[in-house]
């Protein structure tokens, strides 16, 4: 590794992952950031999942600790940031990678409870985390926030709650970037397209009753670049760039990482 985050500290929210045969975005980002020299606080709603990620990092000689939080709780978000500051000394990087689906559908079919749950986690949870982190970053003279959005924020797929939540994440990103630029706090977002992650492939297979390989093949066929989905490492390397000093003049950017799907959609 090149030490692109040497001396940096990072909080990765959603650093665990649902079980699966591939790696998820949060875990990949936590591992990559540690490989590049950052001290990492791995946050997840499920303690064991965060601790698994920490164990992977420590096994490679990296520095990481775990913290358990539910991002829909303002108290948990405040505790997460204060714990990060106490353990790490400062908070150079915050990555927001929490997102859910389930029970979604077109606007005339989705249940109110599902709509509220998805918006609460995907949007409100990200706002609460950012709200808790910004005072610390402003006081220390800067920081980098990376939000994980989705191509669904600009491309319809009959999942109205998820799509609306991710479109709102994009606007949250630009709003935070604008209102904190003078204090040196940058905020950017990544819009992954079709990715081969446990939440995506295994989740769709389970919900649809299909075999995972059938789901994977159908998703691969939709990707313009090479006819193959990306993976969590593609998201992780994009986040690494946006979090690093290489991007110190970049804020308010919504970066597609999608194998060309966004350019096809227009």
Given the residues 13, 162, 187, 192, select the one marked as catalytic: 162
Active-site residue 237, yes or no?
Answer: no
Contacts of residue 15, Cβ cutoff 8 Å, sequence gap at least 6? 26, 27, 29, 30, 40, 42, 43, 44, 49, 50, 53, 97
The whole-angstrom separation of Cα 84 and Cα 72 is 18
CA atoms within 13 A on the CB side of 188: 21
Q: Which residues are catalytic?
A: 162
């Amino acid at each position: 590794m090149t030490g692109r985050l040497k001396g940096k500290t990072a909080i990765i929210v959603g650093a665990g992952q649902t079980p699966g045969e591939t790696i998820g975005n949060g875990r990949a980002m936590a591992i990559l950031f540690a490989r590049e020299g950052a001290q990492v606080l791995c946050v997840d709603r499920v303690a064991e999942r965060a601790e698994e990620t920490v164990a992977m990092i420590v096994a490679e000689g990296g520095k990481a600790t775990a913290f358990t939080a539910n991002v829909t709780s303002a108290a948990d978000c405040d505790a997460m940031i204060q714990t990060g500051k106490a353990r790490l000394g400062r908070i150079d990087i915050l990555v927001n990678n929490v997102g859910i689906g389930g029970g979604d559908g077109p606007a005339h079919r989705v249940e109110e409870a599902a709509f509220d749950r998805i918006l609460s986690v995907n949007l409100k949870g990200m706002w609460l985390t950012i709200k808790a982190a910004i005072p610390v970053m402003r006081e220390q003279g800067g920081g980098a926030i990376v939000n994980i959005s989705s191509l669904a924020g600009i491309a319809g797929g009959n999942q109205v709650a998820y799509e609306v939540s991710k479109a709102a994440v994009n606007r949250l990103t630009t709003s935070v970037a604008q209102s904190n630029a003078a204090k040196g706090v940058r905020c950017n977002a990544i819009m992954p397209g079709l990715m081969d992650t446990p939440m995506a492939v295994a989740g769709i297979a389970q919900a649809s009753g299909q075999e995972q390989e059938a789901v994977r093949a159908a998703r691969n066929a939709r990707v313009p670049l090479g006819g193959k989905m990306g993976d969590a490492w593609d998201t992780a390397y994009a986040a690494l760039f946006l979090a690093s000093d290489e991007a110190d003049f970049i804020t308010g950017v919504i970066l597609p990482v999608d194998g060309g799907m966004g350019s096809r959609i227009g």
